[in-house]
Copies of this chain bind each other. A is one copy, B any other.
Amino acid sequence: MEKESVTIYDVAREAGVSMATVSRVVNGNSNVKQVTKDKVQAVIERLDYHPNAVARGLASKKTTTVGVIIPDVTDAYFSELARGIDDVANMYHYNIILANSDESGSKELKVLENLLAKQVDGVIYMGNGLNAELRKAFRHANAPVVIAGSVDDEEKHPAVNIDYVAATCDAVNKLIRTGHDKVAFVSGDLKQPINYKYRLKGYQKALAEANITFDDSLIFTSEYFYAAGYELAKKIQASAATAAIISDDELAAGLLNGLTDAGVNVPNDFELITANNTKLTQITRPELTSITQPMYDMGAVSMRMLTKLMNKEQLDQTTVVLPYGIIARSSTK
């Protein structure tokens, strides 16, 4: 913990070459004779030299670090995305600085500013709070930004997600086909585009296709917490709904258990489809039927896109839409 660190100078001196040459071998530059390369390499190992990434970053203006803004690491949906991000980041020799934003606009801005001050080479944004201010901050950032697992409703920023409209529509359709014409729509804040411009649209589309008139007493919003879902069960019971599509698994689990504990039999009395197919969906009894999203892949792809962007490569497509599915479990008939 107190050692003087060995620098490129030490290596150069010991190897009898200039620091430039050492730098070249460290960076795999081709213009170095094999014998000197070996000589330097030997010294590097003998002295246990490790290049100082900070100095490197300053000189090269690249930190091989990307910032990742996440609402909450503790959330299964986002942590799965984060895992995909980290794995491919590693593959390309990047590190990630993880920053929790709590989906709070002001915190997101603060965190972004902070990441940019640290000179990250790029940032990945997770969250559903993309607003004008944040958009502006992204535009003015001198690092590329890609959005993972959510949408940019103005489609200005590179993003990777699924077709939320179609997925929601399919799920609601499935419910309608089994005879429900009173399907509750349960999502987070309707101010968020992902909810009102995509999920709700998909819900309405399914209704329209089946000639069911929209009834806004079947629209519920809630925070994405287990307890919130559990509470919500009462309201849902009081409504005319006989089935529900829910946009978060933890919320869905709460709702399921709330209903069950109130004596409602799922799926016989009430059917449920949730949205993210996280681990939770298999743990509940009955297991939850769910839209499936390739969270890990979405994370991985978004990071891959970011590496291209950081490399000034052209993107084939600015927003990539990954396939979704629906897995039938026991919360539907």
A residues near B (Cβ < 8 Å) are 1-3, 5, 50-55, 57-58, 63, 65, 68, 72-74, 76, 79-80, 82-83, 86-87, 90, 95-100, 113-119, 139-144, 226, 250, 253, 257, 260, 279-280, 282-285
A253→B86 contact, CB < 8 A: no
- The copy count of this chain in the complex is 2
Of B95, B114, B139, the residue contacting A114 (CB under 8 A) is B95
**Is A86 touching B99 in the complex (CB atoms < 8 A)?**
yes
Contacts of A119 in B (CB 8 A): 52-54
**Do B50 and A116 touch (CB < 8 A)?**
yes
* Chain B min CB distance to A285 (Å): 5
Residues from chain B with Cβ under 8 Å of A118 in the complex: 53-54, 65, 95
Does B53 contact A283, Cβ atoms closer than 8 Å? no
Which chain B positions have C-beta within 8 A of A5? Answer: 142
How far does the alpha carbon of A98 sit from the alpha carbon of B142 in the complex, in Å?
Answer: 23
Q: Is the CB of B116 within 8 A of A100?
A: no
Residues in B neighbouring A113, C-beta threshold 8 A: 50
Chain B, residue nearest A281 (CB)? B283
In the complex, A85 Cα to B282 Cα: how many Å? 29
When distances are taken between beta carbons in the complex, the residues of chain B under 8 Å from A79 are 73-74, 79
Q: Which residues of B contact A100 (CB under 8 A)?
A: 83, 86-87, 90
B residues less than 8 Å from A76 (CB atoms): 74, 76
Give Cα A140–Cα B283 distance, bound, in whole angstroms. 43
- With both chains docked as a complex, state the minimum distance between the C-beta of A70 and any C-beta of chain B, in angstroms: 9
Q: Which residue of B lies closest to A55 (CB)?
A: B58
25 A-B contact pairs sorted by A residue (CB < 8 Å) = A1-B142, A1-B143, A2-B142, A54-B119, A55-B58, A58-B58, A68-B98, A72-B83, A73-B73, A73-B79, A74-B80, A74-B82, A79-B79, A82-B98, A87-B100, A90-B100, A95-B118, A96-B99, A226-B282, A250-B279, A257-B282, A257-B285, A280-B283, A283-B284, A284-B284
